[in-house]
Chain A
Amino acid sequence: MAENLFNKPLIRVENLFKIFGENDTKKPTVNAIDNVSLEINRGDVMVIIGPSGSGKSTFLRSLNLLEQPSSGHIYVNDVDITDKNVDIDKHRQKMGMVFQHFNLFPHLTILRNLTIGPEKLQGRSIKDAEREGMELLERVGLADKARSYPNQLSGGQKQRIAIVRSLAMHPDIMLFDEPTSALDPEMVGEVLEIMKDLARSGMTMVCVTHEMGFAREVGTRILFMENGRVTADGAPDEFFNNPSNPRLRDFLSKVLQ
């Protein structure tokens, strides 16, 4: 059974569309995702790149239904989560998400940020959740901040906390939306290190990022999006060394210089 599951893709996206403004006649409609179909396998570290407004965030947020798709299907472990009868909250527990602006809970201590999910949603005891929370904090070198509040942390520290907050839920996949874009340059490294560690540990990851070094080093698959479509999809080597798409070449030349 487990063997069987392992051979199947973790996520399968079928003919996904997202049209903004379809219910509002006053605004122009935007085809943010325009017929995307793809599969994400266990252990994949997928890096999504593309120009601004190409639909990267929208696609990522559709994967856990923070953005409700206009049409199409998303299967997680063969369950169609776009089905109205599916308990989406249960699935979201297994799909960690890291935001550009961290979105830590400012009224809770760092440790509480990590334990509230496992305790309230997964029925773990506080003691158990705190023990694991402390382990995770140690893993990212922030155990001494357990009793601090988010506003007492630097940006890089906040993002590391945001990552372990998701990890505390034991997710099957982690979604990152430009996790280093809001950071001062000297803090980018510490966050990328955590992400690389995570990738090496075998976590399935989908990352929207402009960090090409990260993509080259740990990425197993690179996606290039333009106007809501995926126009290139391949392994990092061929992607970076031999890009066939002229617009991709153009894009890479800009971000790599």
Chain B
Amino acid sequence: MKKHSSMRRTFAVLLIIGLVSAMFMALPVFAGSDGTEKSAQTIFGLEDLEGKIVGVQTGTTGDIYISDDAELKLKGVERYNTGFEAVQALSQNKIDAVVIDDQPAQAFVAQMNGLTILDTEYVKEDYAMAVQKGNTELLGKLNEAIAALQENGTLQTIVDYYIDHSGEGYSSPKGAEHPNGKLVMATNAEFPPYEYYDDNNEIVGIDADLAMAIGDYLGYEVEISDMKFDSIITSVATGKAQFGMAGLTVTEEREQSIDFTNPYYTGKQVVIVRKSAGAQRETIIDRFKRNFVQAGRWKMLLSGLGVTLVITLFSTLFGVLIGFVVAIIRSTHDKTGGLRILNIIAQVYTTVIRGTPTVVQLLIIYYVVFASVNIPKIIVAVIAFSMNSGAYISEIIRSGIMSIDEGQFEAGRSLGFNYAQTMRYFILPQALKNVIPALGNEFITLLKETSISGYIAINDMTKVGDVIRSRTYDAFMPLVTVALVYLLLVFIFARLWGVLEGRLRRNG
């Protein structure tokens, strides 16, 4: 009868957990199909661009092509100073699509969540260098250099490095001489991977490296001059710069003001659009797979769970030991007045631990106490959490000891048991039985508290959930899953603890 009702309760709680998780899982699907329509993918091909607003970087080929393209029947074109601004506007729902170079497009989509590139490219184009009209001498030299560098593989090396991140970029050969003077290159360094500022604030990229290689080949020093994209053609046309190189597409319009070299690279203009965070196009199962099955990420989660459990179990074990010793020191002092020094130490310990945040204790133990000691971080965590829970457990046990009637103590002593024996046989067994519920709570608290282990770069369950989040750009699935695992752990533990409590209560 009793067993039956408790089983029913277990079933009910499991049902609730199941429903809550189902609700969580279903949530984005509902959200995708109503309300936040803006974030769902609605553009799957060029024909879907009708009536939409498209963003471009001012003056780029994308800008030129799209502005003249009546076939698309766009609602409008928004121009941005940089490709990044355009893409950001797209992800903030301000515009519907961005037309941009294929290579930077791939870089943006990889970095930002919820964006995708349409399968059909918008336009294919040839990139060439621009020189002043009529400067046939330079034009000839540049064409010769491009041909030579294409021939000897230097160009391919540079492209591989910036696009596939393989091999090494271009660097001038030792002792390269530039007897022919200086060439100024006009560019717009906001256009990865062609030209952009690297972490050292230097302009790098395919164009920048190729210009360097051409300079080395022809015996010129190349000076890169960064300017607005709009100004490149003008500054080449007016002779301020000897050549322009910025992923410039060969167009008839441009050929009226400058001359183009032979193309050194064929690029594509593509369309970036928003996809929803997984609604419509991605089923829950796909999403689950993407988060946990892909790249074997479930193994990460499992090992995170293991780490969490190891830290919690060992910390509880040592925490109980510490708590026991401290509680006995303190209550012995309270009862007999002995152990003065130890009591002061114990009092300072519990005051400090209970008066400071656990995460600060963890950081202090890792970065201060064990600063110069090389021990595994997981041991550091166990030490920190043991000390932390020890303080709380000691207070729990102490209050348990204090709750035992003085008469129990007198009965033990009057029979001839000494202080330690009386504690051991009569006081502690009763005290522990009284504090079993509080100790269970402390275990649950500790289990959840270990989630701060990530602060010292331990891959516990919480940290792993966060790592998965940063890899899949999906906050929801990994974090909610982690939350549910904690919930389940706490639930199972509470059940087991309840059984233990019930069993103890039955005997007296």
Q: Tell me the A residues contacting B by CB distance below 8 Å.
A: 64, 66, 89-97, 99, 101, 103-108, 116-117, 120-121, 149-151, 165-166, 169
- Do the beta carbons of A107 and B415 come within 8 Å of each other? no
Taking A103-B411, A107-B429, A120-B425 as contacts, is the C-beta distance between A149 and B507 under 8 angstroms? yes
Partner of A121, one of B415, B429, B433: B415
- Do the beta carbons of A107 and B507 come within 8 Å of each other? yes
Instruction: Give every chain A residue within 8 A of B416 (Cβ-Cβ).
Output: 89-94, 117, 121, 169
Instruction: Give every chain B residue within 8 A of A89 (Cβ-Cβ).
Output: 413, 416-418
Instruction: Give every chain B residue within 8 A of A104 (Cβ-Cβ).
Output: 411
- Which residue of chain A lies nearest to B419 when distances are taken between CB atoms in the complex? A89
Instruction: Give every chain A residue within 8 A of B410 (Cβ-Cβ).
Output: 66, 97, 99, 103
Which 6 pairs across A and B sit closest by C-beta, in order of nearness? A93-B416, A103-B411, A149-B508, A103-B407, A97-B414, A92-B416
B280 at the interface (CB under 8 A from A): no
B81 at the interface (CB under 8 A from A): no
Partner of B415, one of A106, A108, A165: A165
- Do the beta carbons of B407 and A106 come within 8 Å of each other? no
B479 to chain A, nearest CB (A): 45
B426 at the interface (CB under 8 A from A): yes
Scan residues 397-423 of chain B and give those whose CB is less than 8 A from a CB of chain A.
405, 407-408, 410-418, 421
Instruction: Give every chain B residue within 8 A of A106 (Cβ-Cβ).
Output: 430, 508
- Do the beta carbons of B425 and A99 come within 8 Å of each other? no
Q: What's the Cα separation between A121 and B430 when bound, in Å?
A: 20
- Do the beta carbons of B408 and A105 come within 8 Å of each other? yes
Partner of B407, one of A93, A95, A99: A99
B433 to chain A, nearest CB (A): 7
Q: What's the Cα separation between A101 and B411 when bound, in Å?
A: 10
- Which residue of chain B lies nearest to A100 when distances are taken between CB atoms in the complex? B407
> Can you report 7 A-B residue pairs in the complex whose CB atoms are below 8 A from each other?
A97-B411, A99-B407, A103-B410, A104-B411, A166-B414, A166-B415, A169-B415
Q: What's the Cα separation between A165 and B416 when bound, in Å?
A: 12
Instruction: Give every chain B residue within 8 A of A169 (Cβ-Cβ).
Output: 415-416
Q: What's the Cα separation between A103 and B507 when bound, in Å?
A: 17
Q: What's the Cα separation between A103 and B409 when bound, in Å?
A: 9
Taking A92-B415, A93-B415, A169-B416 as contacts, is the C-beta distance between A107 and B407 under 8 angstroms? no
A216 to chain B, nearest CB (A): 28
Instruction: Give every chain B residue within 8 A of A150 (Cβ-Cβ).
Output: 508
Besides A97-B410, A121-B417, 13 more A-B contacts (Cβ < 8 Å) are A66-B414, A93-B416, A94-B416, A95-B414, A96-B414, A97-B411, A99-B411, A103-B411, A107-B429, A120-B421, A120-B425, A121-B416, A149-B508
Scan residues 416-446 of chain B and give those whose CB is less than 8 A from a CB of chain A.
416-418, 421, 425-426, 429-430, 433
Q: What's the Cα separation between A165 and B408 when bound, in Å?
A: 14
Instruction: Give every chain A residue within 8 A of B408 (Cβ-Cβ).
Output: 103, 105
- Which residue of chain B lies nearest to A166 when distances are taken between CB atoms in the complex? B415
